[in-house]
């Protein structure tokens, strides 16, 4: 029978030694098993035999991060969030490991004509302005990151292929988005104009 614990007891037990820690680890593993199985069910690339590895890696990450738990949620909720990050990061890596960022970018171009058929006529101006900023105001790396992210490429894989850290990637992505926004606002577009360029 799996026993949940209050937050203090989880932390104390996991920091203890011997049977108290063993029993807490085993209960946490059971709870993460139930949570992860359900969390991953919508991923078609997930199969049950992967769970053992995911759980093993998750427990290591959770134990390493114990001192970052701020007691602002239930402990099990916090631990489950970490386990989901561990599992999905591994699934995304597998999904994207054979895709070359270089090819992805080389195969795509930000040309104003590209999607004009589907464009609502009054939105053509906005999209053309956006392309102009992307092509003239963003750095090569910012353009690559923006493109790779809208293609859904895993952040971990983008960072690996660019040879930068996840934090550096986040900064590149933020700088690209923020620059784009600032430039578009400068030429007269506001948040409302970004809402629906395509009538669908």
Partner 1 sequence: MPVTGEEIQLILNVIRDTQAVEIDCDVCLMQVGEFAEDRLAGKPIAEGLKAIEQHLLICPECREEFEALCEAMNALENPES
Contact between 191 and partner 1 (CB under 8 A)?
yes
Contact between 10 and partner 1 (CB under 8 A)?
no
Tell me which of 24, 59, 126, 172 binds partner 1, using CB under 8 A. 126
Is residue 101 within 8 A of residue 161, CB to CB? The reply is yes
Closest distance of CB 75 from partner 1, Å: 9
Residue 57 or 194 with smaller CB distance to partner 1: 194
CA 85, 175, 105, 130: dihedral to nearest 10 degrees?
A: 120
**Selected range binding partner 1 among 7-15, 17-25, 67-75, 135-143, rule: CB under 8 A:** 67-75
Is residue 101 within 8 A of residue 158, CB to CB? The reply is yes
Residue 99 or 197 with smaller CB distance to partner 1: 197
Residues 130-149 that bind partner 1 (CB under 8 A): 130, 146-147, 149
Query: Residue 64: exposed, middle, or buried by beta-carbon count in 10 A (0-12, 13-18, 19+)?
Result: exposed
Closest distance of CB 169 from partner 1, Å: 10
Question: What DSSP element (H or E) covers 80?
Answer: helix 75-96
CA 117, 119, 122, 124: dihedral to nearest 10 degrees?
A: -80
**Selected range binding partner 1 among 6-14, 20-28, 103-111, 136-144, rule: CB under 8 A:** 103-111
Is residue 40 within 8 A of residue 55, CB to CB? The reply is no
Contact between 127 and partner 1 (CB under 8 A)?
yes
Is residue 146 within 8 A of residue 176, CB to CB? The reply is yes
**CA angle at residue 134 from 133 to 138, to 5 degrees?**
95
Q: Which residues bind partner 1 (CB under 8 A)?
A: 31, 34-42, 68, 70, 72-74, 76-78, 80-82, 84-85, 88, 92, 107-111, 113-115, 118-119, 126-127, 130, 146-147, 149-152, 154-155, 166-167, 170, 174, 177-178, 180-181, 184, 191, 194-198
């Amino acid at each position: 029978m799996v026993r949940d614990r209050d937050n203090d007891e989880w932390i104390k037990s996991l920091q203890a030694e011997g049977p108290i820690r063993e029993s807490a680890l085993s209960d946490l593993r059971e709870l993460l098993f139930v949570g992860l199985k359900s969390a991953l069910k919508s991923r078609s690339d997930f199969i049950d035999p992967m769970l053992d590895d995911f759980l093993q890696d998750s427990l290591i990450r959770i134990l390493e991060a114990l001192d970052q738990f701020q007691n602002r949620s239930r402990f099990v909720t916090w631990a489950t969030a970490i386990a989901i990050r561990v599992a999905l990061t591994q699934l995304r890596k597998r999904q994207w490991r054979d895709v070359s960022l270089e090819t992805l970018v080389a195969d795509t171009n930000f040309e104003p004509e590209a999607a004009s058929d589907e464009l609502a006529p009054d939105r053509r101006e906005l999209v053309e302005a956006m392309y102009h900023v992307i092509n003239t105001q963003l750095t090569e790396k910012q353009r690559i990151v923006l493109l790779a992210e809208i293609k859904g490429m895993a952040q971990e894989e983008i960072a690996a292929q660019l040879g930068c850290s996840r934090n550096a990637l986040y900064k590149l992505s933020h700088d690209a988005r923020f620059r784009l926004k600032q430039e578009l606002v400068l030429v007269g577009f506001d948040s409302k104009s970004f809402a629906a360029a395509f009538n669908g």
